[in-house]
């Protein structure tokens, strides 16, 4: 096996995060099903809690660091690699892990609070990174049963996977390609568009919905303009803004045309040959089924 030779475990501890149990069940289910087909297991962390949802930026950040620290410490007791799907959770957990590794004083304080002895020695890895670095996209490509031929897909990264660049070390800062590489492995045609790393508006959709609507309108408009028929996302927050809010966008911008937004794992599921009725499309606001049928993919 390839894994043994490079010393990577086949099992990953899995932190779903709150949204994947509610609004983004389709993300969670498809990720679990696909991982089995790709030969690795997501082992759900027992007794997990909310990650805190934002990495604290205040100097006095101890309280906000405790939830992700607790998650990390309990994961370390179960294994050595932790994965998440939600880009926000990933951002919070990865940055907290880094902080614990690098800041001895903070580490001691956190450990005193949570009554653990966690040294920051867990590998925090995103599902996309598993596909690219651990499994290898060539292996993924081999497992593809239904290549997504002719599907012009815009890979939307958002901010959280990438920023801050030095801490996330996910991909190239300004021109990430990991997502597109995956789409190519699945047989789809990736569409590059300038807004692919721009902010979706995030929590502004609560306090200043107009701001978020404008962000989403620009992102989707740019993707469509560059030829995308479908957009893939890796974040429930982004998906809320760019998929679930499409009715609001339509109301505000008369020229707007709706476009389906899928989680990348749903697309992976189609390519792996899973029955489309198990991919949770009913949770997607814009129904992708007509497009996928038209393309002969389902």
Q: Is 257 in the site for another protein (CB under 8 A)?
A: no
Distance from chain centroid for Cα 56 = 20
At residue 203, the 3 state secondary structure works out as coil
- Stretch of 20-28, 142-150, 172-180, 227-235 contacting another protein, by CB under 8 A: 172-180
74 versus 213: smaller Cβ distance to another protein: 213
Taking the least distance from each CB to another protein, the nearer of 124 and 200 is 200
What's the closest the beta carbon of residue 219 comes to another protein, in angstroms?
13
Closer Cβ to another protein, 32 or 173, answer by number: 173
Q: Which stretch binds another protein (CB under 8 A): 53-61, 173-181, 209-217, 235-243?
A: 173-181
Smaller CB separation from another protein, 127 or 217:
217
Which of 60, 105, 115, 174 is close enough to bind another protein by CB under 8 A? Answer: 174
Q: How far is the CB of 195 from another protein (least distance, A)?
A: 9
What is the closest distance, in whole angstroms, from the C-beta atom of residue 199 to another protein in the complex?
Answer: 12
Measured distance CA(147)–CA(183) in Å, rounded: 10
Q: Which is nearer to another protein, 23 or 226 (CB)?
A: 226
Residue from the set 2, 36, 145, 175 that interacts with another protein by CB under 8 A: 175
Binding mask 185-224 for another protein (x = CB under 8 A): ---------x------------------------------
Q: In three state form, how does the secondary structure of the chain look?
A: CHHHHHCCCCEEEECCCHHHHCCCHHHHHHHHHHHHHHCCEEEECCCCCCCCCCCCCCCCCHHHHHHHHHHHHHHHHHCCEEEECCHHHHHHHHHHHHHHHHCHHHHHHHHHHHCCCCCCCCEEEEHHHHHHHHHCHHHHHHHCCCCCCCCEEEECCCCCCCCCHHHHCCCCCCCCCHHHHHHHHCCCEEECCHHHHCCCCCCHHHHCHHHHHHHHHHHHHHHHHCCCCEEEECCHHHHHHHHHCHHHHHHHCCCCCCCCEEEHHHHHHHHCCCCHHHCCHHHCCCCCHHHHHHCCCC
Classify 1 as helix, strand or coil: coil
Q: How far is the CB of 200 from another protein (least distance, A)?
A: 16
Instruction: Compute the least distance from the CB of residue 171 to another protein, in Å.
Output: 11
Per-state percent for the chain, helix, strand, coil, to nearest 5:
50, 10, 40
Q: Which is nearer to another protein, 172 or 287 (CB)?
A: 172
Judged by CB, which is closer to another protein: 108, or 169? 169
Could you give the C-alpha distances from 200 to 128, 204, 214, in angstroms and in order? 20, 9, 9
Q: Which of 123, 146, 152, 173 binds another protein (CB under 8 A)?
A: 173
CB nearer to another protein: pick between 184 and 198: 198
Q: Which of 41, 172, 210, 287 binds another protein (CB under 8 A)?
A: 172
With CB under 8 A as the contact rule, which of the stretches 47-55, 82-90, 170-178, 271-279 interacts with another protein? 170-178
Give the shortest CB-162-to-another protein separation in angstroms. 12
Binding site for another protein (CB under 8 A): 172-175, 194
């Amino acid at each position: 096996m390839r894994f043994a030779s490079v010393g990577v475990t086949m099992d990953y501890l899995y932190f779903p995060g709150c949204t994947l149990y509610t609004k983004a069940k389709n993300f969670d289910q498809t990720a679990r099903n696909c991982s089995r087909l790709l030969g690795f297991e997501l082992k759900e962390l027992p007794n997990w809690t909310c990650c805190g949802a934002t990495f604290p930026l205040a100097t006095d950040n101890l309280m906000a660091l405790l939830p992700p620290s607790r998650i990390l410490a309990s994961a370390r007791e179960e294994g050595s690699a932790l994965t998440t799907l939600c880009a926000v959770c990933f951002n919070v957990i990865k940055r907290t892990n880094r902080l614990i590794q690098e800041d001895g004083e903070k580490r001691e304080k956190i450990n005193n609070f949570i009554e653990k002895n966690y040294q920051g020695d867990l590998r925090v890895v995103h599902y996309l990174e598993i596909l690219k670095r651990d499994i290898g996209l060539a292996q993924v490509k081999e497992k593809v049963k239904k290549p997504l031929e002719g599907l012009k897909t815009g890979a939307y990264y958002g901010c959280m996977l990438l920023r801050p660049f030095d801490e996330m070390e996910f991909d190239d800062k300004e021109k990430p390609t990991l997502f597109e590489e995956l789409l190519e492995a699945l047989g789809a045609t990736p569409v590059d568009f300038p807004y692919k790393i721009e902010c979706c508006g995030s929590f502004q959709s609560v306090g200043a919905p107009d701001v978020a609507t404008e962000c989403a309108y620009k992102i989707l408009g740019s993707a469509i303009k560059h030829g995308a028929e479908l957009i893939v996302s890796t974040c429930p927050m982004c998906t809320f803004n760019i998929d679930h809010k499409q009715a609001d966008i339509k109301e505000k911008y008369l020229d707007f045309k709706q476009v389906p937004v899928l989680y990348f794992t749903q697309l992976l599921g189609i390519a792996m040959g899973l029955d489309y009725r198990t991919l949770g499309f009913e949770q997607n606001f814009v129904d992708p089924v007509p497009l996928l049928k038209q393309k002969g993919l389902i």
